[in-house]
Structure 1
Amino acid sequence: MEKVRNFNNLDSKISTVVTIGTFDGVHLGHQKILKRLVNTAKETHLKSVVLTFFPHPRMVLQNDANIKLIHTIEERSDILEQSGLDYLCIQKFTKEFSRLTAEDFVKKILVDQLQAKRVIIGYDHHFGRNRSANINDLRKFGETYGFEVEEISAEDVNEVAVSSTKIRKALEAGDIKKANNYLGYSFSINGTVITGKQIGKQLQYPTANLEIKETYKLIPKQGVYVVKSEIDNKSIFGMMNVGTNPTVSDSTKQHIEIHFFDFDADLYGKSLKIDMLHRLRDEKKFESMDALKNQLQQDEEESRHFISETNG
């Protein structure tokens, strides 16, 4: 898959089949569309293209700094690449871009830059300035500019009762199992290991403190989770705390700390992808460090039991 931010760099000799959307989460519903896109491209000897937008339109049009996305644009790109897609075209979303009329969007982006010969789109898709145009308008533009429109019907969409909104709500509630079922894979976070306060080390539970630079990345509900990471080509399991460490701190700043099982190596400065597998409990404030350590031992026991049960 080729990632394209400057559409002028696209080979003008190629012709494409395009689908359009934010694709936050790349969930089971999205995966169905992607499969259709890739198969159609092969059958028609076209190149498959996902046209997506970044930043999220709400960030730009509503100045919604509080919007949280399931994936960063880099995470989304990595997952889309696994679908067999030829091109991921990332259109920078600006206020100026949002003012394009529907016909200008079709002519300048879909036709002139992406050389679209077919567009696969949902029955309820709206586009152009103020989202004023719909799939019927797109069909008329297709007749004018020489591309076909393939509709993803309501039946097709509803057959997979999944949405990015449902996944966000599940994550915010700490329901990792439901979120992962909707996604079809484990929700993950990506960050860099930084130096912490070494409190875990004092408790014989040293942790990797994860820093996530993208403020728009959705972090699930505070609590303790069973997790997995690929480190030096090995699957390493552990438990992760998302929270403010109320037993040892009065700070309201959220931290993400992972204790890996049966693992001892220097991770400072490393970039890690953490898959979230199971939620153990809420974060709690304990009366003493001994009480906290006892709870960590229980968490480890429960985590190891979950890992052995699910990895047979």
Structure 2
Amino acid sequence: MTSLEDSLAVIRRFADAGSGRPLFLAVGTFDGVHRGHQVILRRLAADAAEAGAEPVAMTFDPHPRAVVRPDEAPPLLLTLEDRVQRLKEHGAQRVLVVPFNREFASLEPEEFVRHVLVERLRARRVYVGFSFTFGRGGRGTPALLRQIGEPLGLEVRQLGPVTEAGQVLSSTVIRQALAAGDVAAALRYLGRPHAVSGPVLPGRRQGRGLGFPTANLADDGRVLWPTDGVYAVRARWDGGMWAGVANLGGRPTIDPAGPRLLEVHLLDFHGDLYGRRLSVEFIDRLRDVRKFPSVEALREQIARDVRQARDILARGGWLCYHPTGFQRGPRDR
């Protein structure tokens, strides 16, 4: 268990390792690094480049709600490693991961601004979203941040919400979309497909027996999986990328007592992926998981799923067959 002193030590070491340039800082949990977050990061990077400053993102681990309201802790959209990578991809040159604990959560807003942002980090400018809160009980708001910080020489930039078809984008909205199986909406909100990953597990070769071999993954609880269903997907491993169709859930027709798995059939793929780490990106939902009257009826439905997935992926520019050596598909350019 980390303490406040542990958190402040991380911040101090980070500040001491700085570039010597003025520090522009984006602050937030940034779970998912969705399109709303990306607007903040792009503004941070552009302003820092113009001012000769260093663009830095501050995030927190674990998720603050897991500490202050554990019974309401949300499932994560990204692992911490992937969150850091995405923050850098979208404009941060460095990422400060602050260990979040009850003592850190108990800092009054004034203490957080004066002692953390100004004195320890020596931030020149801070960027936050419209719903940003900080300090004990979430009392701090962007307006209070400006009220406390500006007399101390800390500039504050608050960015407004990003909307999609009238929906304000947030990590919560994306979780709701995934819980409903609406991975196409999650893709629009994130600006990329939602992905889960894990090692390919040995299976009972039931898919192969049906004529549709699968690479099987189990839910390790690190990030949120969509609700059960059949999905058009894209898989990545070791720099390779391949289109596919996936069954997420059980197998009520052939293995009703079996565990919940993500079974990915890669279109026209011939190879062995056992033991490799596979990342599976969800593009669109095809149907519910359901029980069929016979194995033959299941086989016929899977063939229809494959055709539908191939059509969806082709129309959306997601169709790809690159077993080695990453090649960018139309949607990656």
TM-score between the two structures when normalised by the length of structure 1: 0.89
Q: Shift in Å at residue 37 of structure 1? A: 0.8
1:176 aligns with 2:176: no
Partner of 2:4: none
Aligned CA distance change for structure 1 residues 158 and 308 (closer, same or farther; 3 Å) = closer
- Please identify, of 138-147 and 20-29, the stretch whose mean Cα deviation from structure 2 is larger: 138-147
Partner AA of 2:97 in structure 1:
I
- Does the 8 Å CA contact 1:16/1:117 hold for their aligned counterparts? yes
> What CA deviation, in whole Å up to 9, does each residue of 1:99-125 have, x standing for no partner?
112222223321233220011223443
1:247 aligns with 2:253: yes
Partner of 1:274: 280
| 2:22 aligns with one of 15, 29, 37 | 15
Q: CA RMSD, aligned part only?
A: 2.2
- Does the 8 Å CA contact 2:243/2:266 hold for their aligned counterparts? yes
Partner of 1:129: 136
- Whole-angstrom CA distance in 1 between matches of 2:266 and 2:99: 38
| 2:199 aligns with one of 179, 182, 192 | 192
- Does the 8 Å CA contact 2:200/2:273 hold for their aligned counterparts? yes
> What CA deviation, in whole Å up to 9, does each residue of 1:279-306 have, x standing for no partner?
1110011222222111111111222222
Aligned CA distance change for structure 1 residues 230 and 159 (closer, same or farther; 3 Å) = closer
Partner of 2:84: 77
Structure 1 stretches of 4+ with a deviation exceeding 6 A read: none
Secondary structure of residue in 1 paired with 2:231: strand
- Whole-angstrom CA distance in 1 between matches of 2:130 and 2:311: 46
- Whole-angstrom CA distance in 2 between matches of 1:66 and 1:197: 35
- Whole-angstrom CA distance in 2 between matches of 1:273 and 1:63: 28
1:222 aligns with 2:238: no
Identity %: 37
1:112 aligns with 2:116: no
1:1-312 paired onto structure 2 within 5 Å: 6-10=10-14, 11-12=17-18, 13-64=20-71, 67-152=74-159, 156-157=160-161, 161-213=168-220, 215-251=221-257, 253-311=259-317
- Whole-angstrom CA distance in 2 between matches of 1:135 and 1:304: 46
Unaligned runs of 5+ in 2: 1-8, 320-333
Number of residue pairs aligned between Structure 1 and Structure 2: 304
Q: Shift in Å at residue 255 of structure 1? A: 0.9
- Does the 8 Å CA contact 2:27/2:57 hold for their aligned counterparts? yes
Q: Shift in Å at residue 252 of structure 1? A: 6.9
Q: Shift in Å at residue 307 of structure 1? A: 2.8
Aligned CA distance change for structure 1 residues 67 and 197 (closer, same or farther; 3 Å) = farther
- Whole-angstrom CA distance in 2 between matches of 1:309 and 1:133: 46
- Please identify, of 244-253 and 221-230, the stretch whose mean Cα deviation from structure 2 is larger: 244-253
> What CA deviation, in whole Å up to 9, does each residue of 1:194-215 have, x standing for no partner?
11222112112111111343x1
Partner AA of 1:298 in structure 2:
R
Unaligned runs of 5+ in 1: none
- Whole-angstrom CA distance in 1 between matches of 2:216 and 2:115: 46
